[in-house]
Each structure stands twice: as structure tokens, then as C-alpha cells.
Structure 1
Amino acid sequence: MLRRLSISAALAALAVPVVATGLLAGPAAADDSGMSDPAVQTQIRKTERRTAERPPVVSRRANRAPVRAETDAPLTVTIDQLTPSTIPEKGVIRVSGTVTNNDKVPWTTINVRPFISAEPMTTAAQLAEAADTPPDAVVGERINDERHKDFIEELAPGEQQSYSFSVPRNLLRADSAGVYWFGVHALGENGNGRDETADGRARTFLPLVPASRPGELPTTLVIPLRHQLTYSDDGSLDDLADWTKTLSQGGRLRALVDFGASSGDRSVTWVVDPALVDAVRRLAEGNPPRSLAANLQAGEPDGESDETTDPSTSPSTTPSATPTETPSPSEESEQSGDGPLDLDALDPVVQAAADAAQAWLARLGSAMQPEDQVMTLPYGDVDVAGAAEHDPALYQRAVERAGSGLAGFDVPTTLVLSSPSGYLSTQGLALADPGTAILLTDAMFEDPAPALAATDGHRVVVTSTGAAEGGPGPDARMGLTAMRQRLLAEAAVRFLGDDHTSLAMVLPHDWKPDGGATYFGGLDVPWLDLTTVDAVSSATAPSTVTGSTLRYPKWQAAAQIGQSGFDAADDLTGAGATLQSLLTLNNVIAGTVADQALGSVSYSARTRPITNRQSAEGSQLWIEERLRRVRVSAPRAVTLSSSSGRFQATITNGLDEPVTVSLDAQSDDRLAIDGPRRVEVRPQSQVAVILTARTDENGLHEVTLFVTDKRGTALGARTGLTVRSAQVSNVIWLFMAIGAALLFGAILIRLFRRVRNARRAGSGNDDPAGDGSGGDAADPPAEDRQPAGAGSR
């Protein structure tokens, strides 16, 4: 140790004349030389900490121990502009960015210098390894040319300043085709002095493709538009503050649309969840709750069935269903939705979301150019792998729903399957119809992954994981320049390879780019053809890959939406269909509810499965509460004196919209109850319905009456009653007939006897005087006469 210190002291003693000689001789190869540079004066004052000459190779370790980790670097350096984006044959490369002091003490005399690696990388595997290189690793040689650097005199804690410089092509010393390390080092001093290790660094990739290389590499850039859709119980979108943020300037969804718009006449591919567009349009309309209001005219068919209400059961033409004027108790009224929406009258939070949504829709409409390709995901961005395992029918509904395209935009669309991670299970792959576009990450394939694959009857575009991972750091890996240079690097190694395969990159769905004009300007290189997914898909012949060899990690399977989530979505869809079948003049609410249900089992819902399931369950309860507002009442007991009889039930509509219902009865198989097939009930009204009960057996029958929709689905409202059957038997009727015969026989006998006695009495009175004079004798006085019929008494 003593000897090492002695050598250091000797070198320090020699430092002053050596550096002074360098100053007199002019610019040297040392990092911080130059007579006019204030850093030189500082170096002279600190010769006890300096060696006689600084080596040009970037050091892996600092002179002061311990070596700083990436997060401990006192200075943060960014590369915001790099022009041109590839190494030119001649000219200069212009570099600019910022340096920020993350330390608690000031940093002074900061030199900002470029560096470049000596050898290029020529494979995607080398790029992937480079991206994982530690930030303090030696990856290139610093270019110590005093004419091509920048200088920052001082940075206070938290302060940020810009830098810029240019590097001539002849200083790069890059002669072989491939991808080079390129970056910027910031070297300064604080209270502890100065050393040779960079105090801040930024790194990226810089391709060199010879102009003599013929051809172009088909490359597609995919911009995904997807977002978590969470609804309140009433069907309005939840978390308006987050929507306003992501749709406004600087927000993620707005930034992605602005990024795509900055492509100009260059082709990009949009992958859009149509449910997202519908949700934003809902926000633009003031985020209304789901409405039960009529969208049909009276008598207009609803399209649900060819059946119509039987006129014989119409409330106005038959006593079987006679409407009454007695209103039901008033309950919470539904929003009618009539008339135009006055956005200025909305709550400020809703107004802000509506303004942001309208601007976003307008921007998206102008961003999707004719040269672009627009692809739609299954509606709601449904978790295809989860649906394949738990609910294939829901996937089919999502595909059919997406077939209608993007509402409000006159652009052709094609269906695509693409998950945020790029993974898809073989079950999910099997669900896809032939001809459906499929994007899969190259991480699912064995190395080297093909650019195009034919898998189990499907043509698959394989996307580059590396290109989407961005730059190597330690500066922002997802920065605009870092992302562009990584895409160019991946394209370059493919173009320089023997097979000239195409390249597809799906931007991270959660990426928030800052601008985009410089990004796309940097892609204007002669060897890269920026095109669409369809063009890439047909650029080369696919490689045959067996589905069983595809990798689907366990963590992906564990993240899938579970059975309970799909059950909740199906239950919500069923509730919406029942509500629509109940309403007489509304044939759209079922679709609105089904759309919400599909969004509850999206890929985004994987991060919050419980929240999304509860959202679906809350909406289902909201609907069921409205279904229960249509009620039925009936007498508690009904007695039948014969094999059939009629009784009255009352249907009450507590909704503010007309409904069409039926009544269904549940009892034992000995009793049948018939009624009108359909009954229309006006808003907030009652209708009396006559029902007929039939039975051939005596006894008590417990009956439950249900209110059902037009399809026969029970709404939840019910009432119970008892039907007593008291029929008289045939034997009793026989006895009653015999008794009636005896009664009428006795009456006839009595009448016969009366007539006979009357006749006999008349025969004995022909000679009342007894002298043979007959009837010529004088009649006795009236008072002496015997009353008529006295002889028969």
C-alpha cells in the first residue's frame, strides 16, 4: 500500500508540467484539455487527484469508491435529438438534450462529450444483450475533440440545462455495417473534486447501413388504442378525472393519437378497441346514464320477434285487460333523454371530460389517413385466452360486435387478435376464424423467431419484443429517440442479414410519446419501407410452426380473467336483454348493456378483476331493481264452483316508460291458468287482467303469478294465491234429479185429484129440487145459496 501511494504521489508531482506542456502544444487527446476551457484550469488546480494523461477509453470504474449505481448518478443526461438517425456517409451528426443535477450539491465545469463503440452489433440477440448492459459498463470510446463537445459551467441542485453539439463523420471511426453504441457522457466536479468517470450518461443505438445495399425492409408500426372501461351502476363511465387526463393534451391516449397523426403520409397501422371509441363518444355526449326512454314510435316493430300483441288482449278492446286510471305510487323517474344535450349546463367535471373527448375524437378522425390500416379488436378488448377457456360464446359476440367497425368514422376496418403482451394461448388461437389477422410476440417462438408464421391454419405476424422495449438506458428507455433508434437497430440487423425478413413492432399500449415528428422523420431512410400489417403479412412466405411448440407462460395463464368474471358478464348481458324485452318502445338498451359486459372481461380488467366484476354486478342490480318496478297483485284466495272459473289480477307499471308483459303461473299439474299472451301497460299505470283457472280435482291449489317479459323471462315480481276447487259429484246430481222428479210427480197427482173431485161434485147437482123439474125450478135466494165448491171442501 505504501508503495502504491508513493507512485501516485510521484505521478501527481509530474502532472503540472505535463498538463502545462499540453496546453502550450494545443489540443490533446485528453478528455478535458484546451487552453480556453475553464475545466482545464480546474484540472491544473487539482493535479494531486489526476494522472498525467487521461485514456480515451471510457472507464468502467470511478477513481472514487464505491462505484455509483445507475440510480446514484448525480447527473441525468438525455438525448432528445439525434440527426440523422443513422450514420451518414459524410457530414455530421447533431446531438442535443439536457443535463439535470440530481445531487444535493452544485456541479461545475461539466463537459458533455460523445462516445461510440469500436465494433458494431449485427444480430438481434446482440441488441437484446446490449439493452441489458449495466449503465457503468464500458461500451465505447469517448471522442475527446474540444471542437465537438458542449460545456456547462454550473448546475445547482435540481437545475437542468440543455446541451448540443455536432460530431463529424470522420471522428466516428465506424467502417463496418451494423449497429453501434452511441451516447453522451457528462463529466463535472463537485466539492470532492473531479475524476475520469462519467457523472452522467445517455446511450442509444446508431445503425450504419451502406448505401450500396439494395432493397428495402418492409416494416410496420402498430399503434394500439385500448383503455380500461369501468362503469357506474347506472351505466355512466366511472372516474371522469382519469378520462379527462388521458384524453387531454399530454395524456396517454391523446399522445398516441398525436403520435400517429405526426406520421403524415407515412403508413401506420391502428389497432383500436371499438368499445373505447364508443366510450369516448359517450363522454363527448355528457356521459349520460343508460336510458330507458323510447327510441321507437308506437306501433313500430322492435325487431326482436315477428310476433305481435294479440288484438283480442288489447287493453282497449277486451275486458280481459282493462286499463284503469288509478296511478301507481310514484317512484324514481328515469332520464328521458329527450332533446339535445346542453354541455354548458353540465357539472364542471363532466364538462371537462366532454370537451376532452370531443377534441380526441376529432383528432383521431384526422389522424387516420387513407394510407393507414385500421384494425379493430374484438369489442371490449376481450381477454381472448380467458374466453377460450371459460366462455367461447362471449368471444363470438365480441367479434360480431366489432364487425360493425368504428362508430362515427368512415374508415374500412379488419379484425385482429392482439393482446397487450403479445401472448395468446393455443386455445385462443383456435377460436380465431380463418383469415383473421393475428399478432403474436416473438417471445412465443423458439429462437430465432420467424417474421411470419403459419400456425394451425392461421397466418401470424410475429412482432418484435426488442423493438418495443426501447433503448438501453440509463436515460429513459421509452423516450422518443430511444424508441426510434431501437426500431432502426432491429430493422438494420434484419436488413443486413441474409434473409431480409420483415419487421413488425407494436408500440406499448401504455406508452406516452412526447411528439412524433422527429420520430417519423428519422425513419425516412432509403432501406426501410414503412407500411401496413397487411403488406408485411404478404411480404414473405411464412414459416410453418406447430401450435404445440408455442410458449405461453404460466404467469400469463394465471393472469387470465376467471370463470366468475365471465359469469358476471353473461348475467349482466341477460339482464339487459330482459329489460329491453320488457320495454315496449326501446330496442337499444340490450346492446348498450351487452357492450358494457364485454368491457368487463377485457385484457385491461386483468389488473383489476374484482373491481370489474363488481362493476358488472352493480349494473345488474340496477337493472333488476327496475324490473321489479313492474308488479302483479291478485286476490289471496279464489274458489271454483265448477271445473273452471275466472279471477282478476292487476299489473302495475312503476316505470316512466310503457312496458309489454305477460303473466305466468306456477302451480301443481292438476291446475291450469290461462291469460292474455301480452299486455301493454302505460307508464305509471295499472291494468286489470282476467285469468281463467281450470281443474278436474277438488282441493286447495297454491299458485304463484309471475310477471314476465315478451320472451317469457320472469322479471322478479310475483304474488301468491290459493285456488279452492269445490265441485259437486255426479251421485249428488242423481239424488237431486230424483228429488225433483218426486216433487213434480206429487204436484201432478194432486192436480189430477182436484180435477176429478170437482167433476164428481158437478154430476150430483143436476136436479137440486128433487121433483124432477131439473134445472127449470126457481133458484133460491142469493143468501140461501151454497158457495161454489163447498161440496169438495
Structure 2
Amino acid sequence: MRRSPRPRAGAASLALGAAGLLLLAGVAVPPAAPVAPVASPSTAAVPTVGDPLRVVLHRLQPAVLPEDRRAEVTVAGTVRNTSEEVWSDLNAYLLSSPGPITSAVELAAAVASDADTEIGDRIVEPGLFDDLPDLDPGEAARFRLSVPRRALELSGEPGVYWLGVHVLGTSADAGRDVVADGRARTFLPLVPEDTEGTELAVAAQVRARVVRDSDGRLAFPDPLARRLDREGRLHRLLALSRTAPGQALSWVVDPAVVEAVGSLADGNPAYDAEPVTLPRLAPAGPGSEAQPGGTGAARPGSGLAARRAVRWLTGFVEEAPRHEVLAVPYGDLDVAAAYSSAHAALTTYALDVSDRVLDGLGVDARPVVVPPPGFLPANALTALPPEVLAVLAPAAVPELPRPLVATATGTTALVAGTPETTRGPGPGAPRAALAVRQRLLADAALHALGADRGQPVVALLPAWWDPGPRWQAAHFFDGLTQPWLDLVDVAEVERDARPSTLRVPDGVVYPEDQATAELGEYVLQDTADLVTRGATYESVLIDAESVGDRLGRQALLTSSFWNRTRPRLAADRARGTSALVDSLLDGVVVRSPPFVTLSSEDGEFLVTLANQLQERVRVGLRASVSGSGLQLTTPEVVTLEPNERRSVRIGVRSSGIGIHRVELQPTTASGLPVGSAAALSVRSSSVGLVLWFIIAGGSVVLFGAIAVRVVRRVRRRSATHGPVLVDQDGRAAGQPESAA
């Protein structure tokens, strides 16, 4: 085999020379005479800068270099004409680097290198390149290259080699030259079969921003529905997980996303007093749609979106037992902001909600905190309960290279790669399934060849990762299955890794830009207020035991990490929901007379409790008095039917004279205020008591006078031995006339 001569590197390649990015892997190869009207490594720019042909690799077999030099390496992919002109005489060539990348630092530099960086020579041996049809603008063609390993002319040293594809062609404007018109690059590890090997844990993430309107409906159902169709990210992730062998893949799940899919399956209803019920789904036969089933199941909505949601939710529930499920706080709560703003209790609440949502689907999950940037402040990390696992970026604990760290408070943290450590090099599709697979293999190979191979490698795929439309051609997990690589889950990493002790707070790095980006305290406060209102509403309604939980879940969506870019909009949504709840609670009313006068120390007056809601309620009454001298006794909690009014008695005891301001507030059974209050004035006095004293005194005088008169009459009668007779002149009988 012969290779074409190498031209001078372009300006971009020279600019990278100071950093030593990719030439560190190169070994000089003597130039040979040209055999085809094409030559040497490309110096073309990335497609976004004007590359007319976009090359994407879909298949690479085997995933690692075979030790047998007679074995073939096969690469397949597509070429698409992104220009406005016709391209003809197209040829696809394979190329590789003669020497390997041997360290993680070199690998990271290689991924970040420009597309025109020189990596090796094209293989132009007849029969080892592929002829492609002419391409009109927008058209695409497939290519397939199979090359014996010996044709790659590798040094054979263990490590990670470059592998690339160049496509050259002819156009009316550009003609034909030796510069590649399209290209793609990837990595190809070489690990001896007798290598001791290492472990790799891969975690995929089911996370997304979930937004609900004030009435509980999904604000953006259409984007979610698109993620669930056959070309959608969530559909592809679920399908990819089905190809994983047991314990080869862990799931990091936000239950709010799962519940949003349930809402879509149910037709995206508004909140009401009924409990949230995700559709119970019966397994569907091959090629058929999942069907609802089970007693008490929610009724699925109609339409294509609902059917997709039902199908995905069915698959999720069926697939979950095969994987370790790690549940983040519901709604992807901004945990860092919660601890920074004295709302740490929201983290506990959000983890509890996540557990209950997944438990309702029969899915076992472990609580985790996985901040998307990979950073947590030290106070948040050490405050997490021991059963909650934290997942951090390597930059968050730079002093500890091991994948598992522990704090003195019992918190365990797993160190996983960032999105930049799970992408392949450009151009092409660096986030596609094949590119990610080869990057994971490259990292694992260098780790297996290193001294620290006994420690596992943890790869956390990005929260927004999409395997791409041709993910099946990549044979993702088949390629990761290697003799020197054991695929494990996160739980296995915890068992096998030797934890390092983390010094807190000195050993924890929390960048200033992360602290600045946290949600404001007002957002967390609006969340807490809505949680409280939801609990109040639920405690009033007799037949709606889950409405408070539903409102609490909506409140948590307000403080989602994904709202960092639009915090005020999120807070406004929470306040809108709070206002809606307040308007409902205002349907519980107490009515009273404006003025009450007491005629004695003790008394009572009537007030009316009214239920203007369409649900049964349980209501108490709390009375508060301004000043002292008046004591009120309120009735026990009462149950009111829809639109019922009931009169209740308020007991009063006065110890002085005056006018008192009284406020009557309807409450829940636990004493939380609810509904509309009433105010009245109560006049208390001792006039009644004085009046009784006067009456009593008058009675004593009256009956005393009567008694005196009776006594006198009795005495006089006794003195005359009988009744005293009086004649017509007024003299007593027998009395002599007076002298004349």
C-alpha cells in the first residue's frame, strides 16, 4: 500500500502547534509517490465555516483495533451535500494516525482540536477507498470502507489512535484539488488482550425542563410530544437502554418528566380536586400500541401525542427493573440555591416527592443530587443525608482523582465526567451514538492502561444527550463490551471503589459564576409559599387528599435548575397559581353582625359559616380580640356540604366595660387561616349587674316596710284584746266623752 505525499499544514494547524495538541501523537511517515489524483491530509475547515460536504460516521467495526493484523476495520457513514452546487467524482478515503494518544490530557486536547489538524495520511490503495455517486444540493449518499489493519500502518503501541474519513470531489466552482471537501474523525483504541482491565459505569439522563400553567396543564406539550416520537430524544434513549446488557446502564431520572409524560398520556388535563393518576398500562404486543388497563386507571387522552406518551410510559415502567434508577429532586430543584437561601427543607421535600411519584409506578429508585454543572457548595454537600448520593464534576473536587469521595458527615459523592468528556472530536456529529461510544472506549482504554485501573470510570451522559437518528447502526453497547472492560452500574462502583476522604470546605470548589447563576431567594420563597397554600387547600377539602401534593409539585417546578435563565417568569407562574388557590379558598366565608351588645358578663351571639365551593369542606373558626377584658369561645370544626350555610354560636365572657374589635377567621382543622374573615365590634358593660343590685335593694326596702307595718298592726291588736272599734265620731268604743 502507498500513501500520498503530505502537503504543508494550514494556518490553523500551525496555531495549535504551541499547545502541542495533536502532533504529539504523530510519528513521521516517509512520503510516497501519488497513486491517485488526490493527496494527503486535509486542511479543510469545519462544515459551519464552509465545508461543502458533511460527513457523519454511523458504524465502526470492531470498536477497538484487533491485534490480528489481517483483521479488517470497517467504517460506514453518510455524505451530504450542504452546498448550492453539484458535486461529482466523489471518493471516500480512510486515514489514521501512526502513533497513539497515551494520556487523558492528550485525549482531551485531541477532542478540542480544530478539524484541519493533521492526523495522518489517506489510504489511497486501489480497492480500499469508496466511489460515491454525484450529489445534488441537499442529497446524501452512503459510503463503506473496509481496510485490513496492516494497511493502517500503525506503530502497534497500546493507546488510542486517530481514525478519520476524507471525502474529495469535483464541483463547477472549486474544481478538484488535494484538500478534503468533507471529513469526520473518531478514536480507535488498541488494548492488549492480556491487560488487567477496568470497570466503566454509564449513566443516561431522563431530564428536561417541565413547565405547567397556573391551572396545572403542561405549558408546552408539543415539544414533549416530539421528544416521544420515534425520532425524539426520549424515545431513542429508551430504545437504546433496551440494547444494554444487565447492569450496564444506570438511569438518572427527574420524575417530573415522567409525570409530564403521564399528563400527556391523560390528555394534558388541568388540576382539579381529583388525585393525580398516571395511566396504568397493560403491556402491548409486538408492533402494537400500549393499551390502558387496570382498575382505577386514568383514562388516556386521544390523539397521536397521547398514544406516544402511553407507549413511552409503558416502556419506561417495563425497562426500569433492568437498570439502576437514580431519582433527582422533583423538577430538578436548584439544590445549591435552596441551601444558599435558607430553604434547605425544599430539597428534602423534593426528594420525597420524587420517591412517591416513581413508587406509584412501581419503580424503585435511589435518591441522588446531580447538579447539571457538576458543582455544589460545601454546605449543601455536607448537609445531604447519608442515603443521598451526590454526583460531582472532577473540577468540583480537584484534589481527589478517585471516583468516590466521602465527607466526615457521611455524605458520599461520585465523581463523573462532564459533557465535554463524553463527546467525540469534530467535525461531523460529535454527540452521535458512535462518537460517544468511541470516546468512552478511548477514556476507558487509557484508564485500563494506567496505574489506577483498579478504580472504576464513571461516565455521565449529558442531560440533553440524543443518540441521533442512526444510533442503531452504532451498536453502542456491543462496542463497549470488551474483554478488558466490565460494564457496571453506579451501585457496583460504590461497592468496588476505594473512597477518598474529602476535606470540607477546603476540598470543595464552587466557582463564583455558579453562585451568581443560582436562583434568587424570591423564587425559592414563592415556591415555599405555594407549597404551604397547597397544604392548606388540601386540609380544607374532605374529598381531595392529593390536591396539596399536586400543588406542591407544581411549586417545585418553579425552583427548577432549568429556570436559572428565566427566574422571574418562573416566579410569576408560581404567584399566578397561588392567586388561583387563594381565589378558591376565598369560597369559605364567615358572616357576622357588625355590632353586638352584651347585657351581662356572659353571653353568646350567632355567626354564619358558608361554603361556596363545589366540594365538601372541613372548617374551624378562630376568634381574635383587640385588647383585654373579653374572652371568646369558638365551636368545634364543622363539615359543610357544597354551597351549605350553617349558623354557629360564639361564646363571650366579659370582665369590664368597653367596645372590643373582634376578628373571626375560618381555619383548617389544624388552625391554618383559610377563606374570608369577618370583623365586628362587641360592647361589654356591667349595667345588668347594677340593675340587679338596684332591684334587689328596692325589694329589700319594699318587703322591709311591709314587714314593719305588719308588726305594728299585730302589736296594736294585741293591746286592745281584739279589734279596735271606732264610732261615727272616730272614738274608740267605751271611750268617755270629753268635758264640755
Smaller-chain TM-score bracket:
0.7 to 0.9
**Residue 275 of structure 1 pairs with residue 256 of structure 2:** yes
Correspondence for 1:424 among 367, 370, 376:
376
Q: From 290, 293, 318, give the equivalent of 2:271.
A: 290
* Map of 1:202 onto structure 2: 184
Give the structure 1 partner of residue 311 of structure 2. 359
Q: CA RMSD in A?
A: 2.8
Give the 3 Å change call, closer, same or farther, for CA 154–287 of structure 1 in structure 2.
closer
**2:21 corresponds to:** none
Deviates more, 1:730-739 or 1:470-479: 730-739
Deviation at 1:411, TM superposition (A): 4.3
Contact 1:75 1:103 in 2 (8 A): yes
* Pair 1:670–1:730, CA change in 2 (3 A): closer
Matched, 1:492 2:445: yes
5 Å matches for 1:160-171? Answer: 160-171=140-151
**Amino acid corresponding to residue 523 of structure 1 in structure 2:** L
Deviation at 1:628, TM superposition (A): 0.6
Alpha-carbon shift at residue 532 of structure 1 (Å): 0.7
Shift of 1:339: 8.3
Q: Against the structure 1 CA distance between its residues 259 and 468, is the aligned structure 2 distance closer, same or farther, given a 3 Å change threshold?
A: farther
Does structure 1 residue 683 correspond to structure 2 residue 635? Answer: no
Structure 1 unaligned blocks of 5 or more: 1-27, 34-39, 41-53, 296-337, 771-793
**Structure 2 contact 205–462 (Cα < 8 Å) conserved:** yes
Q: Which moved more, 1:674-683 or 1:467-476?
A: 467-476
Aligned position for 2:41: 58
Distance in 1 (alpha carbons) for counterparts of 2:693 and 2:635: 38
| Number of the residue aligned with 1:116 | 96
CA distance in 1, matches of 2:252, 2:297: 32
- Listed as ranges, the matches of 1:42-57 within 5 Å are 57=40
- Aligned residue among 329, 333, 339 for 1:382: 333
Give yes or no for contact 1:229–1:600 (8 Å, CA) kept in 2.
no
Q: Is the 8 A contact 1:258 1:367 kept in 2?
A: no
SS of match in other structure, 1:79? strand
Query: How many pairs were matched up?
Result: 665
Shift of 1:538: 2.7
Q: Hey, what's the Cα distance between the residues in 2 that align with 1:107 and 1:376? A: 50
* Residue in structure 1 matched with residue 83 of structure 2 by the alignment: 103
Aligned to 1:254, the other structure's residue is in SS state: helix
Once residues 104 and 419 of structure 2 are traced to their aligned partners in structure 1, the CA distance between those partners, rounded to angstroms, is 8
Between the aligned partners of 1:153 and 1:735, the Cα distance in structure 2 is 122
Pair 1:586 & 2:512 matched: no
Work out which of the residue numbers 551, 554, 558 in structure 1 matches 2:512: 554
Q: How does 1:434-513 map to 2 (within 5 A)?
A: 434-446=386-398, 449-456=401-408, 457-465=410-418, 468-500=421-453, 501-513=455-467
Other-structure match for 1:75:
53
Secondary structure in 2 matching 1:587: coil
| Alignment pair present for 1:704 and 2:660 | no
**2-side partners of 1:544 and 1:342: how far apart?**
51
Q: Sort the Cα spacing of 1:294 and 1:525 in 2 relative to 1 into closer, same or farther, 3 A.
A: closer
Q: CA deviation at 1:606?
A: 2.3
Q: Is the 8 A contact 2:424 2:430 kept in 1?
A: yes
User: Are 1:452 and 1:459, in contact at CA under 8 Å, matched by a contact in 2?
Assistant: yes
| SS of residue matched to 1:715 | coil
Kept after mapping to 1: 8 A contact 2:390/2:413:
yes
Of 341, 346, 352, which residue of structure 2 is paired with 1:394? 346
Distance 2:127 2:489 in 1: 43
Partner of 1:211: 193
| Deviation for aligned residue 1:369 | 4.3
Identify the residue that residue 478 of structure 2 maps to in structure 1: 521
Question: 1:748 deviation in Å?
Answer: 5.5
Instruction: Tell me, in whole angstroms, the C-alpha distance in 2 between the residues paired with 1:730 and 1:690.
Output: 23
Within 5 Å, give how 1:636-715 maps onto structure 2: 636-668=594-626, 669-715=628-674
Q: Sort the Cα spacing of 1:190 and 1:708 in 2 relative to 1 into closer, same or farther, 3 A.
A: same
Moved more, 736-745 or 555-564: 736-745
SS, match of residue 80 in structure 1: strand
Q: Which amino acid aligns with 2:273?
A: L
Give 5+ residue unaligned stretches, structure 2.
Answer: 1-30, 277-294, 734-740
- What secondary structure does 2:237 align onto? helix
CA contact (8 A) 2:382 2:407 kept: no
Q: What TM-score results when the alignment is normalised by the length of structure 1?
A: 0.79
For 2:682 and 2:387, how far apart are their aligned partners in 1? 62
Percent of aligned pairs with the same amino acid: 35
Aligned to 2:686: 727
- Relative distance call for 1:288 and 1:31 in structure 2 (3 A) is farther
How far is the alpha carbon of 1:236 from its aligned partner?
2.9
Evaluate the alpha carbon distance shift between residue 31 and residue 465 of structure 1 in structure 2; reply closer, same or farther with a 3 A threshold.
Answer: farther
Kindly provide the CA deviation profile for residues 41-73 of structure 1, in whole angstroms up to 9, marking residues without a partner as x.
xxxxxxxxxxxxx65x4154x7xxxx7875211
Distance 1:68 1:224 in 2: 29
Higher RCO structure, 1 or 2 (CA under 8 Å, sep 6+) = 1
Once the two structures are TM-superposed, the CA of residue 186 in structure 1 deviates from its matched residue by: 0.7
Structure 1 residue aligned with 2:8: none
Whether the aligned pair in 2 keeps the contact of 1:640 and 1:727 (CA below 8 Å) is no
C-alpha contact (below 8 Å) 2:61/2:75 kept by paired residues = yes
Give the structure 2 partner of residue 791 of structure 1.
none
**Separation in 2, partners of 1:653, 1:405:** 32
SS of the counterpart of 2:606? strand
1:399 Cα offset (Å): 3.0
Question: Residues 680 and 259 of structure 1: is their aligned pair in 2 closer, same or farther, counting only changes over 3 Å?
Answer: same
The verdict on how the C-alpha distance between 1:189 and 1:434 changes in structure 2, with shifts beyond 3 A counting, is same
1:512 counterpart letter in structure 2: D
- Alignment partners' CA distance in 1, 2:344 and 2:246: 40
Residue type at the aligned position of 2:653? R
Deviation at 1:725, TM superposition (A): 1.9
Select the residue among 598, 602, 619 that pairs with 2:560: 602
Shift of 1:94: 1.1
Q: 2:203 aligns with which of 219, 222, 238?
A: 222
The Cα shift of 1:502 comes to 1.8
1:611 alignment partner, one of 535, 556, 569: 569
Q: Quick one: structure 1 residues 353 and 747, their matched pair in 2 at CA, closer, same or farther if it must change by over 3 Å?
A: farther
Structure 2 length as normaliser, TM-score? 0.84
Pick the aligned partner of 2:215 from 234, 242, 245.
234
Cα deviation for residue 180 of structure 1 reads: 0.7
Contact 1:73–1:200 at 8 Å: present in 2 too? yes
Which residue in the other structure is 2:128 paired with? 148
Distance 1:539 1:733, change over 3 A: closer
> What's the CA shift for 1:266?
5.6
Aligned to 1:172: 152
Deviates more, 1:233-242 or 1:161-170: 233-242
- Which one-letter code corresponds to 1:136 in the other structure? D
Cα distance between partner residues in 1 of 2:708 and 2:214: 86
**3-state secondary structure, aligned to 1:407:** helix
Question: Take 1:70 and 1:243, find their aligned partners in 2: how far apart are those partners?
Answer: 29
CA distance in 1, matches of 2:420, 2:685: 85
SS at match of 1:493: helix
Partner of 2:192, secondary structure, is: coil
Q: Letter of the aligned partner of 2:180 in structure 1?
A: A
Other-structure match for 2:117: 137
1:672–1:693 CA contact under 8 A, matched in 2 = yes
Equivalent pair of 1:225/1:509 in contact (CA under 8 Å):
yes
Partner SS for 1:522: helix
Q: Give CA deviations for 1:210-242 in whole Å, capped at 9, x if unaligned.
A: 2232x2311011011122222222223322212
Aligned to 2:239: 258
Give matches, 1:537-552, under 5 Å: 537-547=494-504, 548-552=506-510
Change (3 A) 1:153 1:414: closer
Q: Would the aligned equivalents of 1:443 and 1:465 in 2 still touch at CA under 8 Å?
A: no
**Equivalent residue, structure 2, for 1:635:** 593
Task: Report the CA distance shift for 1:718/1:423 in structure 2 as closer, same or farther (over 3 A).
Answer: same
Whole-angstrom CA distance in 2 between matches of 1:381 and 1:114: 44
